[in-house]
Amino acid sequence: MEQCACVERELEKVLHRFVMYGHQSEERLDELLRSVCDIRGQLVAFGVQDADLSVLSQTMAQCCKNIKETVQMLASRHKDIHGSVSKVGKAIDRESGVVIDMNMKQPFLELNRILEALRMQDLRPALEWAVTNRQRLLELNSSLEFKLHRMYFISLLSGGIGNQVEALQYSRHFQPFASQHQRDIQILMGSLVYLRHGIENSPYRSLLETSQWAEICNIFTRDACALLGLSVESPLSVSFASGCMALPVLMNIKQVIEQRQCSGVWTHKDELPIEIDLGKKCWYHSVFACPILRQQTSESNPPMKLICGHVISRDALNKLTNAGKLKCPYCPMEQNPSHAKQIYF
């Protein structure tokens, strides 16, 4: 409890600073807006006369100076707040007393090191890692290693004719991927014809698109995480973000249910009363709804495959079982309910 209070104190400090920052910036911005409005008013009132203009231009210069100073001041105070925010993080680390074994940290440190290099367009650490983990990557159906070799080849191409021999030699790395990436390799080799004139002036110029670097970083992160058995996004942040999207919709539906007094609609605690679309990135696995009970199956009520191939939930199977026999509600084959097999999605 003492630890929580300690973290809370740090948190309160940060919140206080945020509020103060909000007030100060609002005040300063209002002040600036007022002086800009004044200048505009003067311009409208006096018309464009030489005498007025010299005075006005001074006022305007002063106003610009004030704006610049305010922006700098706000930026530096914002930076200070960041310091306080990181203090909260440190306080949590210190007070939680969680000690993470270095052996657990090691793979993450290595992945971050490789990713940093990749962001700086240095492919070597990623290539070394991919070659070391070749077998496991292939098992995951990953084409990371080929894509890294491809990028290395492209970086040689962008160096021009001076790299021709090296590029040709490097192309040997494509050999193990020939059957799976034939088309890509043909394009890469075809581009060599234009090396003398520069790839950027050739029909192969799309090979030099810089967006490929962001893409290769994403592929590396995804495949490396899959190899470690981790999800790319933190499960906590995914749950939090999904909650933020779903909550307003659920609040609305709750209000509607209350207004129409049909509270019986939402009785299953594992199931939402309506479908909430969180976008494709939140698709993880298929779901199965029992066609008899019209409920989504769960761990306690899993889908069961009958001998005839039809699938219903276990609760439905139990309900339909009569004197140790089950008549499939679809075909309707008579069978022993104990022969039904649980299926997993």
Q: Which stretch binds Zn ion (CB under 5 A): 89-97, 188-196, 280-288, 305-313?
A: 305-313
| Least separation in angstroms between CB 331 and Zn ion | 3
**Residue 310 is a binding residue for Zn ion (CB under 5 A):** yes
28 makes contact with Zn ion (CB under 5 A) = no
Q: Residue 250 CB, nearest distance to Zn ion (Å)?
A: 37
Among 20, 140, 214, 331, binds Zn ion (CB under 5 A): 331
Characterize the bridge pairing of strands 341-342 and 303-305: antiparallel
Task: Compute the least distance from the CB of residue 295 to Zn ion, in Å.
Answer: 19
Smallest separation (angstroms) from Zn ion to the CB of 306: 5
Query: Is residue 328 at the binding interface for Zn ion, with CB under 5 A as the rule?
Result: yes
Site for Zn ion in 121-160 (CB under 5 A): none
Which one of the spans 12-20, 127-135, 220-228, 309-317 is the region binding Zn ion (CB under 5 A)?
Answer: 309-317
29 binds Zn ion (CB under 5 A): no
Choice between 216 and 316, CB closer to Zn ion: 316
330 scored as a contact of Zn ion (CB under 5 A): yes
Q: Closer to Zn ion at the Cβ: 28 or 305?
A: 305
Pick one of 15, 262, 308, 343: the residue that binds Zn ion (CB under 5 A).
308
* HEC string for the chain: CHHHHHHHHHHHHHHHHHHHHHHHHHHHHHHHHHHHHHHHHHHHHHCCCHHHHHHHHHHHHHHHHHHHHHHHHHHHHHHHHHHHHHHHHHHHHHHHCCCCCHHHHHHHHHHHHHHHHHHCCCCHHHHHHHHHCHHHHHHCCCCHHHHHHHHHHHHHHCCCHHHHHHHHHHHHHHHHHCCCCHHHHHHHHHHHHHCCCCHHHCCCHHHHCCHHHHHHHHHHHHHHHHHCCCCCCCHHHHHHHHHHHHHHHHHHHHHHHHHCCCHHHCCCCCCCCCCCCCCHHHCCCCCCECCCCCCECCCCCCEEECCCCCEEEHHHHHHHCECCEEECCCCCCEECHHHCEECCC
Query: 108 or 330: whose CB is closer to Zn ion?
Result: 330
x/- contact string, 264-303, with Zn ion (CB under 5 A)?
----------------------------------------
Positions in 222-241 near Zn ion (CB under 5 A): none
Residue whose CB is less far from Zn ion, 216 or 340: 340
Q: Residue numbers of the site for Zn ion (CB under 5 A)? A: 308, 310, 328, 330-331
